[in-house]
A and B are shown apart, each in its own frame.
Chain A
């Protein structure tokens, strides 16, 4: 056999091997990911990503709401026994809140009068952007959700996100043209400065493994009590004062330490969010 023929046979063999190689799809896929990663970092992919996300968001929201409803119904079946008990507790709470509201209305009127007399500026109501939740973060390692409003709708990074009852859910951490990501308060990476409503103790609230919140750096001299409400202190940029965060559940205090720590139960319903409001 001539050397030319041998070389041709060898190259043919190599080509067949590469063509049949089961790793070829893996190599192609990894190369595509690397190329797309570069394009993503440069920002070339942004319009494409934005288009895909905004096109799919109505369907995504529909599916998200359906999943929440089914999941809610299933958990309701499981907790039928406790429903009656829960109903009695809630009825009692409604009565308490109604009387508290009547009292607060009086206080508000009095406050308005006093403000007028002193010449204080009137508190501006918080302006919000309503947004539909289209999904949760695909990794279970980060507690975040995706919403269908982005930079073009006036969303800015760092702005707080609240639910329909006004309780704070989290902060905007990523904003694309037509979608954004909200890092929930319960995520371990989340932090916000809060203040207790009665004892006026400030502290930093951090998420505790997606379950609750920990309020740290509370001065020892502040008499913080269980059940006290915690609101935002408004110390960070873009964070308004007075957004409801949660209730003090447990206080951990040691005499030999400079600060106290408290466990805070968030008041926002993190498991059944369909619509959120982004503070402008």
Chain B
């Protein structure tokens, strides 16, 4: 039930990302609400749902992308995997709000991975369009990383509330069955 709910939310957020946040500029940069949601799930130790949400939202984003179908989904899955590893190795014993800083690394990492991945595909000849990383683009990624971290801080609180709500519901239904 929880997985379905999060997947539906991820799809909805992907559409909002495409139509609203992609053209809503704050200091020239945009908030990546999908990435924020995935990181929030990782931080709240719901990695399983993070992978499924990456799949659901990534496919919606890929449908609207000009480049190679599936590349956003694969990169989102890779970011979830790497973020989980970083969290486990370096931030295991930190407070939940210290872990929010992971968003900064993940946003920059996602942009970098996307560039390297697509540039590689362009060199091989799979992708026709050549991805270009400019100075302005790099500055935007950094501002975007700060914005994502701020939004994540608020979202983590929301996720904790939802987790508590679903766990309570599951507990109630289990105790009713038994």
Contact = CB atoms under 8 A, between A and B. Distances in A.
Nearest to B14: A138
B131 A139 contact: yes
Interface residues of A, number: 52
A71 interface: yes
| Size bin of chain B's contact surface | 35 or more
A53 interface: yes
B19 interface: yes
B137 A140 contact: yes
Given A25-B48, A29-B55, A33-B70, A139 B65 contact: yes
A144 to B, nearest CB: 5
Contact of B21 (A26, A67, A75, A144): A67
Nearest to A48: B63
Nearest to B21: A67
Query: At the interface, is chain A mostly helix, strand, loop or mixed?
Result: helix
Contacts of A34: 70
Interface stretch (B92-100, B111-119, B158-166): B111-119
Nearest to A211: B136
B132 interface: yes
A29 B51 contact: yes
B48 A22 contact: yes
B175 interface: no
Given A33-B58, A34-B70, A141-B67, 9 more contacts: A25-B52, A33-B59, A40-B69, A40-B70, A59-B15, A136-B18, A137-B64, A138-B18, A139-B118
Interface of B: 15-26, 30, 47-48, 51-52, 54-55, 58-67, 69-70, 72-74, 77, 80-81, 84, 111, 114-115, 118, 128-134, 136-137, 140-141
19 contacts: A25-B47, A25-B52, A29-B77, A32-B55, A34-B70, A41-B69, A64-B23, A66-B20, A68-B23, A71-B23, A135-B18, A138-B22, A139-B65, A139-B67, A188-B130, A209-B134, A209-B137, A210-B132, A210-B136
